[in-house]
Amino acid sequence: MNNKKIYLTKEGLEELKKEHDDLTKIKRPEVLERVTQARNMGDLSENAEYVAARDELSFIDGRIEELSELLKQVSLIHESSSKGGKKTVKLGSKVTLHVDGKKEVFMLVGEWEADPKDKKISHESPLGKALIGKEIGEKVQVDAPAGKINYTIVDVD
């Protein structure tokens, strides 16, 4: 991996830490035990359980390594706090947009936490890039596969 900052909310960081702990303390030891038991069954060349357990262990080790690297590069997104001044869209902002006659609320998060189904959009996405730095009342236009979509920023929390 490179040294690119990984932006996460507090909740996103907790989820990654939980997955890392689960893999290192629970899943990896379980699979390691399966590998050992399968190895003790004899001929490894025709032992499907051994091959499957070894492959799963390899996958888990790869994911643990990936998570360890990610956790070293995390930059925590602090909750928006716009006391008095103008509310500007930034990482961690909950943005209410007016589009096509209806309101939609999105949360601007880092790319590792993005989940469009959950209305969490990455700051790297076309909409995320268009919103960063904008304020209530401003309009943004985003090129989408279906054409240009116009959004108006109604609220920023």
pLDDT digits (tens, 9 = 90+) for 39-78: 888 776 778 888 899 999 999 999 999 999 999 999 888 7
Indicate the number of domains in the chain. Answer: 2
Domain ranges, residue 45: 6-76
> Does the pLDDT at position 84 exceed 60?
no
Mean pLDDT, all residues of the chain: 89
Query: Within a 10 A sphere around the Cβ of 102, how many other Cβ atoms?
Result: 7
The answer to whether the CB of 54 falls within 8 A of the CB of 35 is yes
Q: Is 137 exposed, middle or buried (0-12, 13-18, 19+ CB in 10 A)?
A: exposed
Is the same domain home to 115 and 56?
no
Q: Which CATH number belongs to the domain containing residue 47 in this structure? A: 1.10.287.180
The answer to whether the CB of 5 falls within 8 A of the CB of 71 is no
pLDDT digits (tens, 9 = 90+) for 6-33: 889 888 899 999 999 999 999 999 999 9
